[in-house]
Amino acid sequence: MAEINSQPIYRIMDLSEADRPRERLSTLGAQALTNAELLAILLRVGVKGESAVTVGQRLLKKFNGLTGLHRAPFADLKKQHGLGDAKAAQIKAAIELGRRLTLESPEERPVINSPADAAALVSYEMSALEQEHLRVMLLDRRNRVLETVEVYKGSVNSSQVRVGEIFKEAIRKNASCIVIIHNHPSGDPTPSPDDVAVTRAIVQAGKLLDVDVLDHLVIGQGKWVSLKERGLGFV
């Protein structure tokens, strides 16, 4: 903890002006701040014995980073020392705005030219989900995203997935191609045998329906796997 005259700093106002998060954001830009400093701006004030930055550091450590804060139930977050309903709501709202920003394009719909493009649109949110979800990204002839729809929630295996459900919205909205995406709550995106079996069935059905299945992505904690790149289910 930084010190001035051997006294620990517990308040943002005790920092030199150049070191205060809001002033640093104003002069250097938000990208120059640490996650703890950005949280401190949301929190505005700390608690007895902790500055707002220190509270931010504590929260990040407690919940294992921003993804953990995103995943944490609101009820758990507001119980943390120094928060409560209002500050917990501010943190949740800020993280949600960040998530929504990744889904928007200022001029036109996002274009999918690679597995990384598709993963970038969904991995932030889906890596924080506590249950398994299967979603279908619908694309037009120019590979622009029309919509991403959720088809299943819960365990995704070959015995439960109905191929007709996968293509229902794609046919209704005249999508030319799709990307299948699901998450592994364990954090390990390694495809399972069921993932490969589901992919194989979906790819075959797509050929019959004239809807190209571009890929199947498995989202983990901070990483993802493309089944097509690995030649799983697309052979």
Domain CATH code at residue 215: 3.40.140.10
User: CA 199 to CA 166: how far, in whole Å?
Assistant: 11
Contacts of 137 (CB under 8 A, 6+ apart): 112, 118, 121, 122, 145, 147, 148, 178, 179, 180, 181
User: CA 126 to CA 181: how far, in whole Å?
Assistant: 9
Residue 67 counted as domain residue:
yes
**Total residues belonging to the chain:** 235
Question: What confidence score (pLDDT) does residue 215 get?
Answer: 96
CA 168 to chain centre: 25
Domain that holds residue 215: 115-226
For each successive 10 residues of the chain (235 residues), what is the average pLDDT?
44 54 79 84 82 88 85 88 88 84 62 92 86 93 90 71 87 93 94 92 93 96 93 88
Q: Are 122 and 183 in the same domain?
A: yes
Instruction: Select from 192, 189, 188, 139 the least CA-distant residue to 161.
Output: 192
Q: Given 81, 103, 125, which residue is the final one in a domain?
A: 103
Question: What confidence score (pLDDT) does residue 228 get?
Answer: 95
List, as one string, the DSSP characters of 81-150: TT--HHHHHHHHHHHHHHHHHHH--SSS--B--SHHHHHHHHHHHHTT-SS-EEEEEEE-TT-BEEEEEE
- According to DSSP, the β-strands at 212-219 and 177-183 are parallel
Residue 33 counted as domain residue:
yes
Q: Are 63 and 83 in the same domain?
A: yes
Q: Given 42, 69, 103, which residue is the final one in a domain?
A: 103
Sign, CA torsion 179/182/187/188: negative
User: CA 228 to CA 226: how far, in whole Å?
Assistant: 5
Q: Given 103, 138, 162, which residue is the final one in a domain?
A: 103
Question: What confidence score (pLDDT) does residue 3 get?
Answer: 41
Residue 42 counted as domain residue:
yes
Q: Are 126 and 82 in the same domain?
A: no
Residue 82 token pair:
């120094």
Task: Report how many domains make up the chain.
Answer: 2
Question: What confidence score (pLDDT) does residue 102 get?
Answer: 64
Q: Are 89 and 120 in the same domain?
A: no
Question: What confidence score (pLDDT) does residue 31 get?
Answer: 77
Residue 234 counted as domain residue:
no
User: CA 50 to CA 48: how far, in whole Å?
Assistant: 6
Residue 22 counted as domain residue:
yes
Question: What confidence score (pLDDT) does residue 89 get?
Answer: 92
Residues 66/35, Cβ–Cβ less than 8 Å: yes
Question: What confidence score (pLDDT) does residue 158 get?
Answer: 56
User: CA 201 to CA 184: how far, in whole Å?
Assistant: 20
